[in-house]
Chain A
């Protein structure tokens, strides 16, 4: 455990010593967060920008105000994992870019697998877990299994928690990769 924490700390020091990677991670985290909060109302945003005759400022104000939904339309748990997923997503992508650009390193299938698993699970967990996470419900319903959600103790919030766990595993693996000494393999 302490080795993993040490690797993460060392990898952070190496990657985020450069402000460009901080900017990249922050931008991606912000995009992921905004995407998650806006997703339930993409239809509304599309409608007001394509069909409404209201002034542009009114449209922009409404769109920005939807971000306040993180405080009213998410439970504490779902807000927590939504923010954590967005931050981890930004950090991991920035570290992948660093690894590929600076070290020309090869990413293992495990890094890609856990990272994608985390993103996918995080997307399923978006929404209101207590009132029928819209995406999870839609997904399960398409398999005729919406009722299965009642069997889950967190009513679908599990996907968000799994997402954070997978992204942390992905972060650990990529940190290990970054901190590995550069050697010529036989």
Chain B
């Protein structure tokens, strides 16, 4: 009489294990698929969603902001959000990497504002581009360094105060800077950076791609510790 009930309960454990396994497999699949998106509010084509991979990384051009030797053996392209606390904590790690590796490593900074959780990040990315326009590549990096020093992240930045303050600190023409901020001239550039971050598989910030001398690309997700970034660069340097 007990058999049907016993059979059902005997099956419950394997069924539970199968479901748990499916959950984990789903997690791995979704975590490793490089076609995810960080923000559905961003324009994005179905093609991007399906074919996103590291090879879709936009070529590094004069529009990019490079710190270090542009002809370095290893290049790190970072897609970052000015309001992300992990980007803020990752910034000194990258500064240390570039300082310690000298001419061997170049750091390229691209924008990846996560609008759905950091509504101020996009305008701050535009401000960084305005700094670059008015003061060149050095001004871009001075702006970025100072911004991460001064601001609390998590969308708590008082942009009306902080942006003019940084412009003043790094010696930019304040009125030209203010005019640039509202001009909209860098909206497409920031959007192109964001689209490229998603196309390469980025779905959170900071999202980095490490490129070796031979052109091989490695993805690095998140604000990993200095030791990890160093290990990855050492590994990349060994691949000529």
Contacts and interface: CB of A to CB of B under 8 A. Distances in A.
Nearest to B235: A54
Interface string B40-57: 110000000000000000
Nearest to B228: A65
Contact of A72 (B6, B216, B221, B225): B225
Nearest to A156: B117
Nearest to A68: B225
B176 interface: no
Interface residues of B, number: 58
B117 A150 contact: yes
Interface stretch (A17-25, A79-87, A113-121): A113-121
A75 B225 CA distance: 14
A107 B90 CA distance: 46
B225 A58 contact: no
B23 interface: yes
B150 interface: no
A155 B154 CA distance: 11
Contact of A51 (B38, B40, B216): B216
A42 B24 contact: no
Interface in A47-87: 47-48, 51-55, 58-59, 61-62, 65-66, 68-69, 71-73, 75
Nearest to B237: A54
B171 interface: no
B116 interface: yes
B58 interface: no
A62 B228 contact: yes
A68 B227 contact: yes
Interface residues of A, number: 59
B116 A62 contact: no
A139 interface: yes
B233 to A, nearest CB: 10
Interface in B96-127: 114, 116-117
Given A123-B23, A146-B116, A150-B117, A66 B228 contact: yes
Nearest to A97: B13
Contacts of A68: 224-225, 227-228
B221 A130 contact: no
Contacts of B39: 132, 137, 141, 146-147
5 contacts: A69-B225, A120-B23, A145-B40, A146-B39, A155-B117
Interface of A: 35, 39-44, 46-48, 51-55, 58-59, 61-62, 65-66, 68-69, 71-73, 75, 96, 100, 106-107, 109, 112, 115-116, 119-120, 123, 126-128, 130-135, 137-141, 144-147, 149-150, 155
Interface of B: 6, 9, 12-13, 16, 19-20, 23-24, 26-28, 30-34, 36-41, 81, 84-87, 89-90, 93, 114, 116-117, 153-154, 201, 203-206, 216, 218-225, 227-228, 231-232, 234-235, 238-239
